[in-house]
Amino acid sequence: MSAHDWEAVIGLEIHAQLLTESKIFSSDCARYGGGDNEYVHPVSLGMPGTLPVLNQKAVEYSTKIGLALGCEINSRSVFARKNYFYPDLAKGYQISQFEEPLCRQGALEFYVEETLHKVLIERAHMEEDAGKSIHQGDATLVNYNRAGVPLLEIVSGPDMRSGQEAAEYARMMRRVLLYLEVCDGNLEEGSMRCDCNVSVRRKGDSKLGTKVELKNLNSFRFIEKAIEYEIQRQIDTIEAGESIIQETRLYDSAKNRTFSMRSKEEAHDYRYFPDPDLLPIELTDTWIENLKKTLPELPLARQQRFHRDYGIPLVDAANLTEEKDLADYFELVAKDSGNPRAAGNWIMVELVRELRESKCTVNEAPVLAKDLAKMIRMIDDGQISGKMAKAVFQEMWKSGKDPEAVVKAKGMVQMSDESAILDVICDVMAKNQAQVEEFRGGKEKVFGFFVGQVMKATKGQANPEVVNRLLQEKLKGSS
C-alpha cells in the first residue's frame, strides 16, 4: 500500500487564554507570572461556600473571536460542569460549556503557500483554565495562579489533511487572536495551546479511523512535524496488521517522534450538567452588532489586500501580516516610500531580524516607518546604493536618527556622477592592464575583479548600477 492510498484526517482544538484583567469567575489577577500562588482567591481555590460570577470582558472577547471566525453567536448559552478529579482542578470540576456553547458553525480561511484553504469551525466555547502541576521527585507541587483564567476553546472540523495545513491553520488563528487584541498567542508560554486529533483512512473511505490526540505542541514547527510523524506511524501500524489505540500522545522534538502518555488513559465520563451557580449568558442582537462594528480588518483580508494592491507575493504578505502592528508599519512604509516590494523586503529581512535580536516590539522600534520609507526613496533616487543602505539602516537603528542625518554624518552619499566614475574606471584599468587583456581574451570572470577595484577606490560609494554599465562599455570597448 503506498502513501497515496491513505488520507490523513486532522482536527485542531485550540485553547486561547483571554487577556482580561481578572479571571473568568473571580476577581483575582489573570496575568501570566506572579509569585507562587499569588494570583488566587477563595473562589478560584474552590474553597467551601464560594461561588463563581461571570466576567463580562471574557464574554466580550469570546464573542469577538466568534464573530471574527464567522460563527453564529448563540444568543443564549449555558455553562456546564465537567467533573473529574485532579489536584490542579480546585473544585473537582471545570466550569465549561457543553450542549449550548457560545459560538457555532464558523470557518477559518488561510493560505497554504499559494492555495486558499477553508476549515470549518464547529464550535467555540468559554471555560476556565486549571492550575499548574509541577512534578518534583515523588511530590507534586500545585500552583493555582492559572486556575480560573478565561479560555475560549475553538474546535475545528476534521477538515485538515496534512501537518503543513494544520500549522498554517494555527498560524492564521494566532494572527486573528492578535489582531483582536484578546490573546497574546504565545505557544511557548501556553497562552495559546493546540491539541491535534489525527486519524488516517484509506482514500475514498467515508468512515473515520481511530483518532489519536496529540498534546503539548508548543510551536508551529512541532505541530507540523508531530502530525507528519503521527500520520506515518498510524499508516505503518495499520499496514503491519495492527490497530490504532485511541489515546493521548506527546511529541518528543529531540527525537521527532510521538509517544504515549505514561498515565493510564480511561474514557472519562465527565457527567456534564448545567452549572446551577451561573445564569445562562443572554446576548442581545444589538450588543452583538455593536461588537461586530469594532472588529479590525482581519489578517486574511489584509494579506489578500497587500497581495492585490501592493503586488506582494502571498507568502510574503502572510509574514507581513503576522501581527497588526507590523502590518500597519508596512503599510505606512509602502505608501510613504512608493515602493511596496522594497518596503516588504526591508521589513521582513532587516527590521524583523533587529526586532528579534533586541527583543522589542514594532512600536518600540527605533527606526520609524517614515524614516524607513525615506531611506527607500533615497535608494530609488540613487542617493545611496542598496548595499550602503544596509549600513545606513544599522546606524538608524542604533542612533534613532533619520536616514538623511545618518548619511550626512557618515559621508555615505552614493557617487552616481558618471564622469567621476569613468575617471576611476580608467584609472583602475590603467593600473591593471593584465586583467584587461584577460577579460578581452574571453575570461568573463575577471569582470568581478574590476567591480571590486572600482568600489574599493570609491570606498564603496559608487553607484553599482552605473559602475556595471560603464565598466561593461569600457572593457568591451577597445581602450
Partner 1 sequence: MLQDLTATVEAIRKKQTSVLEVAEYYYSRSKNLDSKIGAFITLNPNILEEARALDKRIASGEDLGPLVGAQFAIKDLLCTEGLRTTAGSKILAQFIPPYSATLVDRLKKSGALVLGKTNLDEFAMGSSTETSAFGPCRNPHRLDCVPGGSSGGSAAAVAAGFSMAAIGTDTGGSIRQPASFCGIVGVKPTYGRVSRYGIVAFASSLDQAGPMTKSVRDAALILETICGHDPMDATSSGETVPDFANNLNPEVKGLKVGLPAEYFAEGLDPEVKQVVEKAIGELKKLGAQIVEVSLPLTEMAVPIYYLIATSEASSNLSRYDGVRFGHRAKFDDRPPEDLEEFYSRTRGEGFGAEVKRRIMLGTYALSSGYYEAYYRKACQVRRLLHDQFIEVFKGCDVILSPTAPTPAFRLGDRIKDPLQMYLNDIYTTSTNLAGLPGMNVPGGLSKCGLPIGVQLMAGHFCEQKMLNVAAALEQAMGFNQGVPNVGS
Q: What residues make contact with partner 1 under the rule CB under 8 A?
A: 42, 45-54, 81, 83, 85-87, 90-93, 138, 142, 269, 271-273, 276-279
Shortest approach of partner 1 to residue 83 CB, angstroms? 6
Phi, psi angle pair for 31, to nearest 5° = -80, 160
Angle of CA points 329, 333, 348, to nearest 5°: 65
Shortest approach of partner 1 to residue 62 CB, angstroms? 17
DSSP conformational letter for 129: P
Please report, for the chain, how many H helices and E strands are present, in that order: 16, 16
Is 45 or 120 the residue whose CB approaches partner 1 more closely? 45
Is 86 or 259 the residue whose CB approaches partner 1 more closely? 86
Is 53 or 420 the residue whose CB approaches partner 1 more closely? 53
Is 45 or 283 the residue whose CB approaches partner 1 more closely? 45
Shortest approach of partner 1 to residue 89 CB, angstroms? 9
Shortest approach of partner 1 to residue 45 CB, angstroms? 6
Question: How far apart are alpha carbons 359 and 352 in whole angstroms?
Answer: 10
Shortest approach of partner 1 to residue 266 CB, angstroms? 11
Is 83 or 164 the residue whose CB approaches partner 1 more closely? 83
Neighbours of 198 (CB within 10 A): 30
Which residue from 71, 51, 53, 50 is spatially nearest to 62, judged by alpha carbons? 71
Phi, psi angle pair for 97, to nearest 5° = -130, 140
Cell output for 65? 473571536
367's CB contacts (< 8 A; 6+ apart) are 351, 354, 393, 396, 397, 400
Shortest approach of partner 1 to residue 66 CB, angstroms? 22
Is 116 or 134 the residue whose CB approaches partner 1 more closely? 134
332-353 burial: b if 16+ Cβ within 10 Å, else e: bbbebbebbebbbbbbbebbbe
What secondary structure, in 3-state letters, does 425-471 show? HHHHHHHCHHHHHHHHCCCCCHHHHHHHHHHHHCCCCECHHHHHHHH
Shortest approach of partner 1 to residue 247 CB, angstroms? 19
Is 188 or 266 the residue whose CB approaches partner 1 more closely? 266
